[in-house]
């Protein structure tokens, strides 16, 4: 073999593919990574061409802002191993704590600012409920509603793994939260807002296994349980500058062959094993990449066409990935002439029909924004994620998918103003706006056909766990990675992609009989004091009985 352990072809250069390459190269494998679009996948940042003058860089842009919740453990471990000049802890030294979270409401009526910093010390569960925006806006939630939502969270965190996979995986967050018959405020704050602003999914279809698991993990991080680290962190510059580019340079220093602009067109299979990957180059040329081992780290929406071109021949059960659904969580950046930090952290716009979240980025970056980017007049970048593309907006009465790009920008700006402008705060106004940039992965908004998104996000709908592949396939030399692969973080995230890659690497090491230690796959924190409650629930579940604490909502009719 050409290297200790052999040659590995990693198909896809997103977070999963680059993670797999790192783990394998460190263990002596000869690794080639192929990526058609850009290193880092959906996590990468880019720039707005032609906007930099006078020696300044073009304005930075991105698919959507990056943030690193406190329950991320596998990904920070990777960041610490990527060298960065002047940082003894590598790229991890480029993380900055986001200390506050704002739940914005229309006209600022009932908004809530929450200190999520590690300096705030120990917190109570009630503070967690308030942190995610409950009890805000209008008349707020009643005590009865707040207590029932607390019950919903308690039911989930004390549920056994058997019930989570057997019952809550097939139960929508809408049904679990008992949204039917509930007040508008309960639905907005507890049901719809939670799913749309955090996981970009509709509560009616997103599984409780996913939403409950995310809230559980975020809750423990907020309460300071498990590994002690800030509940929310962001990078100190554009993602590619602060993380992806140093990562690619590090991989090159490890001897990894990096092939950008090559798309996997077909897998060749013989005797049940993969014998090659046919690639198409940037000018249409074809070549075949051969290796001893293959790690498929392609996004889920690129697997469908590959199924008909070799992937299904390697493992027919992979056809189930066609059942997985994606949705749009798209970034738009507003470049402002003056700094508008709003809050040192993220903003959730609970009243926005397009489920907006935002962050003011310049306050976290180590360099002067005005002197570094654009034409010298841009002082800040308000980066916004748009998560609901099928709901009519406030200006044009149309969903985002049916708007032009300019209409999307105007609509998002109007919804930002609705949540941020009001007494006691300098408001957003047209004079602040220098320009905007909408993710180019969204095409067709200006016609003539329907709009498409080249980089959609996996949505964990009810029952989707069964359709998601594991890292091991029927082909002895093919392994799956990506945020659609089953892993401890049951959500399409950078952490999930990193964990899935580690699982693929460990399966490859076992198949190769390689002596290296496996990559650590960090599990989510599970309090020991809840263990007995989960054991009791497992017994109840096997008996076909409901969770001990599960009951009807106060607004539901009693038998």
Rounded-to-integer distance, Cα 165 and Cα 347, Å? 32
Cα–Cα dist 17/32, whole Å = 10
Output the CA torsion sign for 145, 211, 119, 385: negative
Helical ranges in 285-386 per DSSP H? 303-306, 312-314, 369-372
Burial-class residue 435 by CB neighbours within 10 Å (0-12, 13-18, 19+).
middle
**Is residue 250 within 8 Å of residue 78, measured between CB atoms?**
no
Q: Are 545 and 171 in contact (CB under 8 A)?
A: no
Three-state helix/strand/coil letters over 274-289: EEEEEEECCCCCEEEE
State the angle between helix axes of 208-222 and 143-157 in degrees (0 to 180), rounded to the nearest 10. 100
Helix ranges, 29-106 (H): 74-80
At 118 the pLDDT is 84
d(CA 344, CA 101): 8
DSSP designation for 337:
S
Q: What is the token pair recorded at 168?
A: 């809550």
* Cα 147 from Cα 302, distance rounded (Å): 43
**Considering only CA atoms, which of 133, 146, 304, 213 is closest in space to residue 495?**
213
**Shortest CA distance to 148 belongs to which of 557, 559, 553?**
553
Rg (Cα) of the chain, in Å, rounded? 24
What DSSP designation does 423 have?
T
Cα–Cα distance for residue pair 252/274, rounded to 1 Å: 26
DSSP letters, 529-546, are GGHHHHHHHHHHHHTT--
Extract the runs of DSSP E, i.e. beta strands, from 402-484. 433-438, 442-443, 452-453, 457-459, 478-480
Question: What pLDDT is attached to residue 124?
Answer: 74
Reported in sequence order, the residue ranges of 161-262 that DSSP labels E, i.e. its strands, are 232-235, 257-260
Strand, helix or coil for residue 497: helix
Contact status, residue 505 vs residue 29, Cβ threshold 8 Å: no
Buried-state track 118-132, b at ≥16 Cβ within 10 A, e below 16: eeeeebeeeebbbbb
Token pair in block for residue 380: 């800040």
SS3 label, residue 191: helix
CA atoms within a 13 Å half-sphere pointing along the CA-CB vector of 559: 2
Q: What is the torsion angle, in degrees rounded to the nearest 10, for the CA atoms of residue 390, residue 319, residue 491 and residue 347?
A: -20
Fill in the DSSP letter of residue 218: H
Q: What is the pLDDT along the chain (559 residues), one digit of tens a residue?
A: 345 779 999 999 999 999 999 999 999 999 999 999 999 999 999 999 999 999 999 999 999 999 999 899 999 999 999 999 999 999 999 999 999 999 899 988 888 888 888 887 767 777 776 665 555 444 477 888 888 999 999 999 999 999 999 999 999 999 999 999 999 889 888 888 777 766 667 888 999 999 999 889 888 877 777 767 888 999 999 999 999 999 999 999 999 999 999 999 999 999 999 999 999 999 999 999 999 999 999 999 999 999 999 999 999 999 999 999 999 999 999 999 999 988 999 999 989 999 999 999 999 999 999 999 999 999 999 999 999 999 999 999 999 999 999 999 999 999 999 999 988 777 899 999 999 999 999 999 998 878 999 999 999 999 999 999 999 999 999 999 999 999 999 989 999 999 999 999 999 999 999 999 999 999 888 999 999 999 999 999 999 999 999 999 999 987 6
pTM of the predicted model, to two decimals? 0.95
- Return d(Cα 60, Cα 57) in angstroms, integer: 8
- Residue 313: count other Cβ atoms within 10 Å of its Cβ: 18
Counting beta carbons within 10 angstroms of the beta carbon of residue 552, is it exposed (0 to 12), middle (13 to 18) or buried (19 or more)? exposed
How far is the C-alpha of 240 from the C-alpha of 101, rounded, in Å?
25
Residue 448 burial (CB < 10 Å; 0-12/13-18/19+)? exposed
Residue 248: which of 38, 479, 8 has the closest Cα?
38
86 by Cβ neighbours in 10 Å (0-12 / 13-18 / 19+) ranks as exposed
Query: Is it true that the peptide bond before 25 is cis, omega within 30 degrees of 0?
Result: no
Distance between CA atoms of residues 521 and 514, nearest Å: 18
* C-alpha–C-alpha distance, residues 77 and 44, integer Å: 19
pLDDT value of position 200: 66
Q: Could you give the 3-state DSSP secondary structure of residue 182?
A: coil
**Whole-angstrom Cα distance, residue 159 to residue 213?**
11
Q: Is 283 exposed, middle or buried (0-12, 13-18, 19+ CB in 10 A)?
A: exposed
Phi, psi at 506, each rounded to 5°: -65, -40
CB distance 490 to 213 below 8 Å: yes
Q: Which pair of tokens denotes residue 92? A: 């991890």
Is 128 strand, coil or helix?
Answer: helix
């Amino acid at each position: 073999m050409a290297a200790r352990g052999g040659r590995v072809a990693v198909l896809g250069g997103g977070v999963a593919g680059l993670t797999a390459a790192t783990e394998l190269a460190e263990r002596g494998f000869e690794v080639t990574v192929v990526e058609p679009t850009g290193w880092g996948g959906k996590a990468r940042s880019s720039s707005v061409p032609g906007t930099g003058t006078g020696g300044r860089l073009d304005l930075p842009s991105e698919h959507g802002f990056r943030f690193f919740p406190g329950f991320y453990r596998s990904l920070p471990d990777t960041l610490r191993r990527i060298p960065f000049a002047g940082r003894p802890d590598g790229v991890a030294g480029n993380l900055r704590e986001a200390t506050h979270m704002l739940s914005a409401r229309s006209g600022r009526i009932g908004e809530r600012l929450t200190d999520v910093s590690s300096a705030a010390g120990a917190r109570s569960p009630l503070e967690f409920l308030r942190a995610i925006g409950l009890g805000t806006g209008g008349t707020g939630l009643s005590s009865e509603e707040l207590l029932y939502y607390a019950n919903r969270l308690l039911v989930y965190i004390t549920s056994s793994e058997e019930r989570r996979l057997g019952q809550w995986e097939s139960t929508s967050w809408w049904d679990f939260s008992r949204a039917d018959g509930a007040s508008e405020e309960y639905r907005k704050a507890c049901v719809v807002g939670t799913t749309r602003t955090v996981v970009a999914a509709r509560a009616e279809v997103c599984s409780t296994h996913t939403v409950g698991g995310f809230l559980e993990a975020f809750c423990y991080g907020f309460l300071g349980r498990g590994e002690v680290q800030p509940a929310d962190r962001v990078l100190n510059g554009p993602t590619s500058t602060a993380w992806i580019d140093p990562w690619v340079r590090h991989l090159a220093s490890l001897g990894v062959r990096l092939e950008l602009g090559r798309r996997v067109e077909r897998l060749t299979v013989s005797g049940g094993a993969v014998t090659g990957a046919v690639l198409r180059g940037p000018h249409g040329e074809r070549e075949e990449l051969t290796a001893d081992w293959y790690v498929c780290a392609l996004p889920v929406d690129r697997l469908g066409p590959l199924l008909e071109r070799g992937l299904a021949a390697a493992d027919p059960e992979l056809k189930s990935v066609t059942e997985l659904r994606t949705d749009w969580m798209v970034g738009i950046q507003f470049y402002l002439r003056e700094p508008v930090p709003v809050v040192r952290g993220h903003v959730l716009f609970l009243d926005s029909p397009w489920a907006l979240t935002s962050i003011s980025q310049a306050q976290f970056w180590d360099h002067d924004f005005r002197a570094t980017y654009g034409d010298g007049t841009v002082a800040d970048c308000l980066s916004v994620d748009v998560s609901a593309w099928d709901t009519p907006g406030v200006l044009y009465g149309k969903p985002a998918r049916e708007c032009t790009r300019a209409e999307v920008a105007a609509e998002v700006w109007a919804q930002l103003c609705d949540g941020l402008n009001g007494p006691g705060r300098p408001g957003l106004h047209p004079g602040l706006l220098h320009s905007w940039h909408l993710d180019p992965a969204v095409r067709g908004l200006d016609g003539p056909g329907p709009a498409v998104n080249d980089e959609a996000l996996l949505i964990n709908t009810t029952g989707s766990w069964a359709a998601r592949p594991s890292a091991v396939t029927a082909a002895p030399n093919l392994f799956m990675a990506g945020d659609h692969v089953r892993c401890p973080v049951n959500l399409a995230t950078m952490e999930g992609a990193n964990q899935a890659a580690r699982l693929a690497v460990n399966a490859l090491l076992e198949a190769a009989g390689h002596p290296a230690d496996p990559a650590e796959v960090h599990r989510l924190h599970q309090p020991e004091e809840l263990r007995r409650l989960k054991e009791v629930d497992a017994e109840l579940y096997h008996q076909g009985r409901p969770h001990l604490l599960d009951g009807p909502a106060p607004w539901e009719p009693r038998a």
